Amino acid sequence: MKFFVDSAEIDQIAELNDLGMIDGVTTNPSLIMKSGRDIIEVTKEICSIVSGPVSAEVTATEAEKMIAEGRKLSEIADNIAIKVPLTWDGLKACKVLSGEGNMVNVTLCFSANQALLAAKAGATFISPFIGRLDDINIDGMDLIEDIRVIYDNYGFETQILAASIRTVNHVLESARIGADVMTAPPSVIKSLANHPLTDKGLAAFLADIEKTGQKIL
């Protein structure tokens, strides 16, 4: 499973990229706002750091304007994935932009029917939002599983990009079900390394070596 980081913070992205932990980046208008930077400027810098897909989201709601914004975003770098919302206008924009050879990430997906439409419109990625479904007491992982089954049934090449990931269990279940990609905040990616038994075992080893008075350096 590929790992994308959901962030517009350059330092966080660079750290994870240098460690080989990420295969791409997703951004959205809220993350751009938090960064306090110009959307074109920060996206261009991210693309210069990461070689994989970098999702940059349109802000228009009408198809023609989405297409125009998408074309402008695509000029930033060759690894731009144009992000459009899963609306009827968004699907129209997806069809045109993907037909022009652009990667398109269709976002804000909350049903398997929506995912089916995105695949038929030529989406490169479909982004089902797990955490936001959990917020309304619907198991978001069920959606990932439904999309996986449907895409496999009919041979759709659209990649499932599990989004709105809040916990390490979301990552585990996405990998188990067969999501192609997951995107998560830097904090969630880093927390994958944590386990209380690792901490306990390390503390015991360090205590024992200290008793011997030995040091390697």
| Crossing angle (nearest 10°) for helices 112-120 and 88-99 | 30
Locate 215 and state its tokens. 């040091």
Q: Does 92 map to a domain? A: yes
- Whole-number average pLDDT of the chain: 97
The whole domain housing 127 covers 2-212
Distance in angstroms (rounded) separating the CA atoms of residues 65 and 89: 10
As a whole number, mean pLDDT of residues 156-174 equals 97
**Residue 162 contacts residue 1 (beta carbons within 8 Å):** no
Q: Which of 65, 83, 190, 215 is catalytic?
A: 83
Distance in angstroms (rounded) separating the CA atoms of residues 169 and 151: 23
Q: Identify the CA nearest to 122 among candidates 82, 149, 75.
A: 82
Whether pTM > 0.85 for this model: the answer is yes
As a whole number, mean pLDDT of residues 155-165 equals 98
Distance in angstroms (rounded) separating the CA atoms of residues 162 and 134: 13
* pLDDT score of 93: 98
Q: Does 217 map to a domain? A: no
Q: Does 117 map to a domain? A: yes
Q: What is the CATH number of the domain that holds 23?
A: 3.20.20.70
What is the number of domains present in the chain? 1
* pLDDT score of 181: 98
Sign of CA dihedral 27, 78, 46, 65: negative
pLDDT bin (cut points 50, 70, 90) of residue 120 is very high
Judge whether 83 counts as a catalytic residue.
Answer: yes
